[in-house]
Structure 1
Amino acid sequence: MTAPIPDLPILAEDDSMLSRRFGREVANYFSGSPLNRVSWLRTDHAFLSAAFAHPKASFLLLDNLSPLAKDLTTLAYVGKNDVLPLTGPEPFKRSEEDVIKQFNSNITQPLILFLGIDEKKNGFEYRGYKGNPYFAVDVTPKGSVEEKAKGVVEAAKAKGGQSFIPGTRLMTLNAPEAAIYAQARALLDWNARNPFCGGCGQRTMSINAGTKRVCPSTDLADAPEGGEPKKRADCPTRHGISNLCFPRTDPTVIMAIVSADGTKLLLGRGKRYPPLWYSTLAGFLEPGESIEEAVRRESWEESGVTVGRVVIHSSQPWPYPANLMIGAIGQATPDGETINLGNDPELEDAKWYPFGEVREALDLKVSFGDEAPKGAKEGGLRLPPQTAIANRLINAVLAGYLGAAPKI
């Protein structure tokens, strides 16, 4: 069995009009970060320098997107002295404008991402903002800093009780740290995928504490020592307002589809799923398409089922690599429940499952791919764990989410 499923973030109860009408807001796994991102301070090199140098600053190391951790449930953080061999003592000393002017495409700059401050911890203060700072550092050995990065990685491994967790999808972390990891992973992965400008093809550089990339107008590469940087070819990103490269987020709809009579749930089985495992349907939102339209289109394309009314339930960041899962619940039309997998052959199978059978599968509380626990029905349905928004959508349906709206 895998590690126990961590508790999901719970939002404070309130007595607002919206909560009375629609119920308590849902927070899904990978959301609910304990950090205040204070995003407007990412260009303030004085703030970043002070935060980086603070003795209580925490640094999360990622090697090829694998985080340093104590175990499958808990991240491990290092201190400033552990990253200095790679980052140097004052990586944020110069202003962003000066850093861009000193761009050298032959030199690999270690990527240091500012994540935010934990306001529940005391120790650091800057202009009234209080909370211990958190950073993520890409220690993947590469380019001109390969040997320095290797040294940091080996030193981290040499410390007892921590290691880099391999694997493409990490779903066992405790919920607050899963959100921190999701932010770090998505941004480091985006930076790694965008070394070249989409406008002119020249090399870009990371700015804004890891949350933007820019195509500089000059380059010190191959310039004589002490000489002026060479002017680069013109680029469309240098014209207009804020025409820079920002992190991408790919919106994806994921939907629990209920039968017209409200007694069954439509579930599909992907071709790579373990035996007996089914989930809700999902697909990418396309340009010029509303969320509701995407739910109807994807449901019909994958299963042949025609969906009528659609309501949005909740969303989930999904850093593999940069998705935002938009959870919805829809209801099939009375004459549109016939399953047909011949449109888009993405699914291996799709079925209507009675609510009772779905509830039995949810009660097993196993992680994706796990063996069935003792006492489970042989050949019975298997569903995603509670860390997946699919699980939360299914639970919402069974809890009567589609019941009559209260009168106001």
Structure 2
Amino acid sequence: MAAPIPDLPILAEDDSMLTRKFGREVANYFSGSPLNRVSFLRGDHGFLSSAFSHPTASFLLMENLSPLAQDPTKLAYVEKSIVEPLTGSDPFKKTEEELLKEFNSDVAFPVILFLGIDEKKKSGFEYKDYRGAPYFAVDVTPKGSITEVAKGVIEAAKAKGVSFLPGTRHITLNAPEGEIPWFFVQKTTPADIGAAAIYAQARALLDWNARNPFCGGCGQKTLSVNAGMKRTCPPTDLAGVPEGGAPKERGPCPTRHGVSNLCFPRTDPTMIVAVVSADGTKMLLGRQKRWPPYWYSTLAGFLEPGESIEEAVRREVWEESGVTVGRVVIHSSQPWPYPANLMIGAIGQATTEGETINLGNDPELESAKWFPMEEVRDALLTGTSGLGEAAPEGYKEGGLRLPPQTAIANRLMDAVTGGFLAASKI
């Protein structure tokens, strides 16, 4: 049985010059979080302590990157008392300088992310000019010296009748219902919390923290600071030092000299493109060997240093399919937290002389074909599914299969077959 398709986020309507000229802006799955990240406050420990301790603070638990959830569509949040045995009563009371002085590489600490505040909720939390319910994510994966405590937190959460979502993709989580608040259009537009966007933010950041336990400059252990948004290389270490003893000096590190080169979360820009033929009647799609039979998608690839998005589109399409693309326009983008991609969606048009398919350059694709627009349009209605799912009801064996609505590839194909404008819901 195919997984349920969540509603996609929709931006609030506006009557701007740009919208009248280019159509309504598109928000793809995993985007549309209604939380205000107030990122400039992540280094303000007074703010973080107040937010963490407030009675309305919500905590999303993540175990091995799987989120705590009520069901496959809704995240579950716990109160501070559940996470306190693992995090302590106020993990943000010490400044970054104090944490660096007390760094002990033998002691494990859970990564605690500040996600943002929900300004629509009149929670009573207030800090300077900022009001709203605080949201955090906590990594409760049992590891090292916190293994047993983390297991206890996991069991306490499960005792509330919720569980951690199995699997890796979690693309059944709800996007915001209704319209997304848009700071410059309708900031007060009502919307439910967008589970998919909050999960994407938490997953990408926790995955990045887990992948960077050591400094890229000197190879020594790093410390997570700034509410999970920065990792730094401490100059001293208390590991192996008797209680009350002076910390040991660590080896030199380039991040502590000259211009600071601390480690911040990475985002990998990736282009993905729906390529149309020169006469606009066909669409170029490709497939990899590991995909189900008849399952095709748009072409994609990573941007390289010193390369524009448009150049990356032309290079990747030619390398993978041999097709030469001329004009390229940007359609929309999608956060894709596996682990930290930003999918930049584009629509490109092949040149009249460059439509011949040649798979002899890059062997990534097993097949690439030009499909008539009508066939793609029909497949968007009857042939979409996730890679691990069976074809939907109504699909006829041998027909074209495509990615689901939660993938930007689907939205690009829908936009092209619908007239190249903003994507519509099928």
Give TM class, smaller chain: over 0.9
Q: Please state how far the C-alpha of 1:208 moved relative to its aligned partner.
A: 0.3
1:337 aligns with 2:338: no
Partner of 2:151: 150
Partner Cα separation in structure 2 for residue 252 and residue 178 of structure 1: 20
* Whole-angstrom CA distance in 1 between matches of 2:421 and 2:366: 28
Identity level (%): 77
1:3–1:73 contact (8 Å) kept in structure 2 = no
Distance 1:365 1:121, change over 3 A: farther
Q: Tell me the residue number matched to 1:130.
A: 131
| 1:394 counterpart residue number | 413
Which residue pairs with 2:301 in the alignment?
Answer: 283
Question: Shift in Å at residue 326 of structure 1?
Answer: 0.5
Counterpart of 1:2? 2
**C-alpha separation between the residues in 2 aligned to 1:155 and 1:116?**
25
Match of 1:154, SS state, is: helix
Aligned to 2:61: 61
1:130 CA drift (Å): 0.6
The reply on whether 1:141 has 2:159 as its aligned counterpart is no
Name 1:375's counterpart in structure 2.
394
> CA shift at 1:2, angstroms?
3.3
Task: Spell out, residue by residue over 1:73-124, the C-alpha distance to the aligned partner (whole angstroms, 9 max, x if none).
Answer: 1001011000011111111111121111111111011111110001111111
Report the 3-state secondary structure (helix = DSSP H, G, I; strand = E; otherwise coil) of the residue aligned with 2:396: coil
Paired residue secondary structure (1:288): coil
Correspondence for 2:208? 190
Alignment of 1:209 with 2:227, yes or no, is yes
The residue matched to 1:114 in structure 2 has which SS?
Answer: strand
Q: In the aligned structure 2, how far is the partner of 1:241 from the partner of 1:31?
A: 33
Letter in structure 1 aligned against 2:142: P
Whichever residue aligns with residue 34 of structure 2, its letter is P
Structure 2 partner of 1:406? none
Alpha-carbon distance in 1 for matches of 2:164, 2:253: 39
- Alignment partner, residue 178 of structure 1: 196
How far, CA to CA, are the matches of 1:399 and 1:10 in structure 2? 17
> What is the identity, as a one-letter code, of the residue corresponding to 2:12?
A
User: Which residues of 2 match residues 6-405 of structure 1 at below 5 A?
Assistant: 6-123=6-123, 124-160=125-161, 162-175=162-175, 176-364=194-382, 366-369=384-387, 370-401=389-420
How far apart, CA to CA, are the structure 2 residues paired with 1:157 and 1:2? 27
Q: Any idea what SS the aligned residue of 2:11 has?
A: coil
- Supply the distance in 2 between the matched residues of 1:374 and 1:60 (Cα, whole angstroms): 35
Assess if the C-alpha contact under 8 Å between 1:308 and 1:331 holds in 2: yes
Is the Cα–Cα contact under 8 Å of residues 3 and 72 in structure 1 kept in the other structure?
no
**1:139-174 deviation line (CA, Å, top 9, x unaligned):** 0000111111111112222322x1111212111100
- Are the counterparts in 1 of residues 35 and 116 from structure 2 also a CA contact under 8 Å? yes
1:217-262 per-position Cα deviation (integer Å, ceiling 9, x unaligned): 1111122211221111111001233421000111100000000100
Could you tell me the TM-score, scaled by structure 2's length?
0.92
Give the 3-state SS of the residue equivalent to 1:256 in structure 2.
Answer: strand
AA matched with 1:179: A
The CA distance in 1 between the partners of 2:27 and 2:394, in whole Å, is 31
**Secondary structure in 1 matching 2:72:** coil
For residues 41-80 of structure 1, the C-alpha deviation after alignment (integer angstroms, 9 at most, x for no partner) is: 1111111111111111100000000101111110010110
How big is the shift at 1:377? Answer: 2.9
Structure 1 contact 11–25 (Cα < 8 Å) conserved: yes
Contact 2:383 2:400 in 1 (8 A): no
Matching residue's letter, 1:394: M
Q: For the residues of structure 2 that align with 1:275 and 1:79, how far apart are their CA atoms? A: 46
Which region of structure 1 is more displaced relative to structure 2, 134-143 or 91-100? 91-100
CA distance, structure 1, for counterparts of residue 52 and residue 383 of structure 2: 41
Three-state SS of the structure 2 residue aligned to 1:315 is strand
Letter in structure 2 aligned against 1:70: Q
SS across alignment from 2:240: coil
SS at match of 1:363: helix
Counterpart-to-counterpart distance in 2, 1:240 and 1:371: 56
Deviates more, 1:151-160 or 1:265-274: 151-160
**Kept in 1: contact 2:382–2:394 (CA 8 A):** no
Kindly provide the amino acid, as one letter, of the partner of residue 282 in structure 2: K
- Return 5+ residue gaps in structure 2 as ranges: 176-193
Q: TM-score, normalised by structure 1?
A: 0.96
C-alpha deviations, 1:179-228, integer Å up to 9, x for none? 00000000000000000000011110000000000001111112221122
- The offset of 1:135, in angstroms, is 0.4
Q: What RMSD, in angstroms, separates the aligned Cα atoms of the two structures?
A: 1.3
Greater CA drift, 224-233 or 188-197: 224-233
Separation (CA, whole Å) in 2 of partners of 1:285 and 1:401: 24
Give CA-to-partner distance per residue, 1:242-301, whole Å, 9 cap, x none.
421000111100000000100000011111111221100000101111111110111011
SS of the residue corresponding to residue 70 of structure 1 reads: strand
Instruction: Report which stretch shifted further, 11-20 or 292-301.
Output: 11-20
Counterpart amino acid of residue 134 in structure 1? Y
